[in-house]
Amino acid sequence: MPLLGRYYVPGLCVEDHSIAVPVDWGGANPADVLRSGLAKDGPDGSPATLGLFYRVLCAPEHVHDDLPLLVFLQGGPGGQCPRPLGPSDDGWIAEAVRHFRVVLPDQRGTGRSSRIDAQSVAGMDARAAADYLKLFLADSIVRDFEYLRLKAFGGARWASLGQSYGGFLTLTYLSLFPHGLAASFTTGGIPHVPADAAEVYAHTFPRMMAKTRRYYERYPQDARRVAAIADRLAQGDVTLPNGDPFSLNRLRMLGADFGMKPSFERLHWLVDQAFTGGDGAVLPEDDSSGVPHADHAYGCEPAALSTGFLMNVLARTASYERPLYWPLQEFIYADGELDHPIRWAAQHELEHHPEYAADARPFMFTGEAVFPWMFDEDSSLRPFRPAVELLMEDTHFGRIYDVGQLERNDVPLQAAVYFDDMYVDSGLQLDTLSRIGNAHAWVTNEFEHDGVHDGPTVFRRLYEEARDRGDLANLR
């Protein structure tokens, strides 16, 4: 493939590449497309292909070595591959480049792979945009990667490492093109099969609330600070620096990374500087004098939220950097012909929990869950609203899992299952793994959902377990 660039970041040799892949695979086999050639653009000028960008990493000492390939299946949905500052910047990379040449593809629609954002769909009618977004789910992503393996790497079987949503992609790969994989690793990412969004949120909402309670147990003073912020927002006149309304709903989103370390500390120091004036403290709970404290920010109305706090809230909750993450969030559970539409599964589950009432205290945060209000209040998501509404009523999606093939699977699969994972229920993961051939689980509560990024330990453990079982013997 044409080499777009070759350079070094400290400790890594990096090569940039890109190939063309079909916009709409239409269920085709990548091997057949490779033989027949890519389709031409339509008579109306509509593109038949999009660009799939990928990087190849290796340790400088292995530049001339013929190492086996490891393809990284990024989390998401709508996540681009890492842009490492060095081998230790993203924990697993330092270990991986000891054994592999690492392939980092940007999934279609992300990074430099024909990136989609709000501008991309703003000019489309709702139906066209909905049909287009369907082309950026697992069935297309995995076909892209299999075509990449065949075209750019001569059909050499590769190992895969799937983090979070990358584990979902792993099971799609094992379902559709198992012959392309020599071994697979997953971290925090085995989906429940059969897939059901409502079932997922029935399991995840109790964990979201449990994480919130643990946050307040660790930082009890924050219960009053967060309540004070919520009381201020309830007045309905606060906006974020880009003009978006700062609502109670948006405040809840700050719990989205509670399943990762050190998320409690990140939120604690964020709310620590929420208020301006004096020492920025909240009026003590046992102060019954009724006299405002001149040196306390919340001793009188209205409390002033600091500009820095508002800017950080915007950075943490806006979708400019991950424009596909929320639009596709619930459709990663859509597998083939659905019995019923998804219809905002997370919103439906939230309505069963009075703990999330606007005036309920302690104030509860949400996690990895998408809600209808986001597409009204977040200007970076607003253009997606008509398409997402249609998809929420849709029942026809690409097939992503083959239960029979997974039961017959003979590709070694080594999974790290995080026992306390907030995003992907460990019990559901283990249930799926019990029905996949040649699957092995390492269950641990030592790490949160992002454990593979937190140093070399997780990937090293998976690699050594697979190696010592003889599961990597097919790697060339």
Distance CA(258)–CA(261), nearest Å, equals 8
Q: What is the pLDDT of residue 292?
A: 39
- Give the CATH number of domain 3-195+400-468; options: 3.50.50.60, 3.30.360.10, 3.40.50.1820, 3.30.420.40: 3.40.50.1820
Q: Where are the domains of the chain?
A: 3-195+400-468, 197-392
- What one-character-per-residue DSSP string does 239-279 give? B-TTS-B--HHHHHGGGTTTTSTTHHHHHHHHHHT-B-STT
pTM of the model: 0.94
Give the helix/strand (H/E) hosting 109.
none
- What one-character-per-residue DSSP string does 15-53 give? EEEEEEEES--TT--HHHHHHH-PPPPPTT---SEEEEE
Which pLDDT tens digit goes with each residue over 233-244? 999 999 999 999
Sequence letter at residue 21: V
Q: What is the pLDDT of residue 303?
A: 64
Which pLDDT tens digit goes with each residue over 338-396? 999 999 999 999 999 999 999 999 999 999 999 999 999 999 999 999 999 999 999 99
Q: Quote the tokens at residue 55.
A: 């990087």
Q: Quote the tokens at residue 475.
A: 């790697």
Q: What is the pLDDT of residue 282?
A: 77
Cβ atoms of 38 and 87 closer than 8 Å: no
Radius of gyration over every alpha carbon of the chain, rounded to an integer in angstroms: 24
In 3D, which of 259, 218, 205 has the Cα closest to residue 445?
259
Using CA of residue 460, residue 464, residue 465, residue 470, what is the dihedral sign?
positive
Low-confidence ranges of the chain (pLDDT < 50): 285-302
Q: What is the pLDDT of residue 284?
A: 56
Distance CA(105)–CA(16), nearest Å, equals 10
Distance CA(349)–CA(295), nearest Å, equals 42
Distance CA(270)–CA(310), nearest Å, equals 10
Q: Quote the tokens at residue 29.
A: 């086999």
Give the helix/strand (H/E) hosting 141.
helix 138-152
In 3D, which of 147, 191, 148, 151 has the Cα closest to residue 169?
191
Cβ atoms of 345 and 338 closer than 8 Å: no
Sequence letter at residue 58: C
Q: Quote the tokens at residue 374.
A: 């986001």
Other beta carbons within 10 Å of 473 = 11
